[in-house]
A = this chain, B = another copy of it.
Amino acid sequence: MEYTVQKLGRLAGVSSRTLRYYDEIGILKPARINSSGYRIYGKKEVDRLQQILFYRELGVDLNCIKEIVTSPTFDAGSALREHHQKLLEKRKQLDMLIANVEKTMAWQEGRIEMKDQEKFEGFKRQLVEENEKKYGKEVREKYGDETVDRSNRKMMNMSQEEYDETMRLAEEITDVLAEAVRTGDPAGELAQKAAALHKQWLMFYWDDYSPEAHAGLAQMYVDDERFTAYYDKKQPGAAKFLRDAIHIYTGIQK
């Protein structure tokens, strides 16, 4: 049950250099040093290395791993449950990639059409997975899985032109919104134009628009600091302002 660097390395499938490096940065210290200065690892270290490798597999950098595993509140059990969750997500993403390859093969054989954006499905953690990760939970909680799935489906089926149009609209919204904020009047013409544009944009993603849901989303822009940050980036206070404008536009207060 005692291992030297190379033996533990062979066991875990990492190099001895890696283990020395992990010792150096304080992420995995050997149980003891023998009389000749050799690093000797025991049972506890084996388990710790396993944890480290799980995190590494998930792309966590060693600095973060260090903070996690050296934390006094570190709980191996909950960490494992988290690993499990993340690995399942990763498999989902892998499945998307596989679907992508199959689709691309069909496209190459001329059997189907394929838009540029579709060619990167599964790669784009930030647009699909990351987006889902960041906002997905809350959005799913507030609007239900069905709405979100439908929205994603709709986006997948958008043509390049439609997609470009949503991008253009999103830009126009922030532009008009920034200008409207400077008028200071959420009931004014510019503010109402921004709200209308926002509705148009939204209708690309929702196939059943309702003023209630629109007003609810506007409120979320304020409640959720990540949305707030997005809109406030160009103009501080823009998120709140947009909410007010939409509440007036829809005639609904949340």
Listed in ascending order, the chain A residues whose CB lies under 8 Å from chain B are 1, 11-13, 43, 46-47, 50, 53-54, 57, 76-77, 80-81, 83-84, 87-88, 90-91, 94-95, 97-98, 101-102, 104-105, 108, 116-117, 119-120, 123-127, 160
The 8 closest A-B CB pairs, nearest first, are: A13-B124, A50-B119, A12-B120, A84-B101, A87-B98, A80-B105, A13-B123, A83-B101
A108 to B50, CA, bound (A): 13
A17 to chain B, nearest CB (A): 15
Do residues A57 and B98 form an inter-chain contact, with CB atoms below 8 A? no
A26 to chain B, nearest CB (A): 22
- Residue numbers in B under 8 Å from A12 (CB-CB): 120, 123-124
A128 to chain B, nearest CB (A): 9
- Residue numbers in B under 8 Å from A105 (CB-CB): 77, 80-81, 84
Do residues B77 and A120 form an inter-chain contact, with CB atoms below 8 A? no
Do residues A11 and B116 form an inter-chain contact, with CB atoms below 8 A? yes
- Residue numbers in B under 8 Å from A77 (CB-CB): 105, 108
Do residues A119 and B46 form an inter-chain contact, with CB atoms below 8 A? yes
**Chain B residue with Cβ nearest A76:** B108
**Chain B residue with Cβ nearest A50:** B119
Having A1-B160, A57-B123, A77-B105, one finds 18 other A-B pairs with CB under 8 Å, namely A11-B116, A11-B117, A11-B120, A12-B120, A13-B124, A50-B104, A50-B119, A53-B123, A57-B97, A80-B104, A80-B105, A81-B105, A84-B98, A84-B105, A87-B94, A87-B97, A87-B101, A91-B91
A167 to chain B, nearest CB (A): 8
A165 to chain B, nearest CB (A): 14
Pull 6 A–B residue pairs with CB atoms less than 8 Å apart, ordered by A.
A1-B116, A11-B120, A13-B126, A54-B97, A80-B104, A87-B98
- Residue numbers in B under 8 Å from A83 (CB-CB): 101
A3 to chain B, nearest CB (A): 8
- Residue numbers in B under 8 Å from A81 (CB-CB): 105
Given contacts A80-B104, A124-B12, contact A119 B47 (CB under 8 A): yes
A12 to B94, CA, bound (A): 16
A133 to B94, CA, bound (A): 20
A138 to chain B, nearest CB (A): 22
